[in-house]
Amino acid sequence: MTVWDAVVGQTVVPELQRTVADAAALLDDVGAGGAMTHAWLFTGPPGSGRSVVARAFAAALQCPEGGCGRCAECRDVRNGTHPDVANVDTDGLSIKIKQIRELVPRAALRPSRGRWQVVVVEDADRLGEDAADAILLSVEEPPPRTVWMLCAPTPEDIVATIRSRCRVVTLRTPPYDDVADYLVRTAGADPELAAFGARAAQGHIGRARALATDEETRARHAEVLRLPFALADLRTCLDAAAGLVEAAKADAERHCDELDSREVDQLKQALGVGTIGRRPRNVEAAVKELEREQKLRRTRVQRDSIDRALVDVMALYRDVLVLQLGASAELVNGHIRPSIDRLARASSPESTVRRMEAVVVAREALEANGAPLLALEAMALALREG
């Protein structure tokens, strides 16, 4: 099993494998480097596996055999413990300048063990202005054996000065069959549930895994799909919006509560709280800063949960429009075909498009940090009016 086996449904793998061979030839002084360059930008829709592809590429660059998946280099990159591969991600709303400042000096060093010094920046579209400027300085004048790998939904999500210095690798939404096969092979998912998860998640690998393997996630998905059918009057619209917000808060609590408590305990232990002697200085300030970061993470988890629900609602209206237009496209939610048929007969294609636009407006409001409840109430009313 090679490092590339973790990459699902992407046609760019052969090109990246050739680049790995070019990079090895460059280091061995038997080639000019070919397609190898110092900065890469992996783009693709959510769930396409941008960071997975970047890490596979990083492992293959370090591996003497181009990504065998068995050697110490491949294993350490996969486990996040390789000394020459750094990974930058964020649980908050943005990547802070502090994270980047800590990595820029490291990126300037020669590899200590591997062939390259690699920095993978997940969610590079969340780079703050100062953090982007810090990366730009390193990307403009890179050391000869340093490689930056940025991941973002589209090239336009990265500032032009950085984007122009990167080689762009465009990923696609993985085909449903490829996602389902991957879930059966790696997660032991039931083939029928794997197929359902891949289709309902529209190729988003992480979401598909949750739908295929977690009953609670499937129940939540089914509840969201009932929303468009329950908007009978003002009260039901307001209740539906409040229900989405409350469900997202519950998701955030499940994800964050235990993690927050553990992080606070670990911080206090690291600062020496509870040891014999004088109380360490600045404990309160450090804990307060951690709690601020945790609050940002909780906000992001909640908004991401709402956004996933809105994507599901959008897919349902997409199915309605497919039936109304008599298109031959496969339904995302074919398991509730009778309900979709009824909604298609009860409305026009024009009203369906207006409803889809209302969902887009709500997603844009959330992305702009609008109040979730107000955005969802406005959307629910627009869905009812059509």
Burial degree of 43 (CB within 10 A; 0-12, 13-18, 19+)? buried
Residue 219 domain flag: no
Are 206 and 239 contained in the same domain? Answer: no
pLDDT given at position 287? 85
Residue 227 domain flag: no
Are 204 and 313 contained in the same domain? Answer: no
- The rounded distance, in Å, linking the Cα atoms of 174 and 45 is 10
Q: Residue 23: helix, strand or coil by DSSP? A: helix
Tell me: the pLDDT tens digits for 190-222?
999 999 999 999 999 999 999 999 999 999 999
Are 141 and 66 contained in the same domain? Answer: yes
8 Å CB contact between 227 and 359: no
Are 239 and 344 contained in the same domain? Answer: yes
pLDDT given at position 97? 85
Tell me: the pLDDT tens digits for 269-320?
888 776 655 566 678 888 888 888 888 889 889 999 999 999 999 999 999 9
- The rounded distance, in Å, linking the Cα atoms of 295 and 297 is 5
**Nearest to residue 118, comparing CAs of 134, 103, 131?**
103
User: How many Cα atoms are found within 13 Å in the side-chain-facing hemisphere of 223?
Assistant: 16
Instruction: Tell me the residue range of the domain where 33 lies.
Output: 3-170
- Where helices occur in 28-122 by DSSP H, the ranges are 50-62, 72-79, 97-107
Are 14 and 29 contained in the same domain? Answer: yes
Task: Name the residue with tokens 């491949």.
Answer: 74
Q: Any bridge partners for residue 152, and if so which?
A: 43
Q: How many domains does the chain have?
A: 3
Are 165 and 193 contained in the same domain? Answer: no
Residue 30 confidence (pLDDT) above 70: no
Question: For the stretch 58-80, what's the b/e string if a residue is b when 16 or more beta carbons lie within 10 angstroms of its beta carbon?
Answer: bbbbbbeebbebeeebbebbbee
pLDDT given at position 31? 61
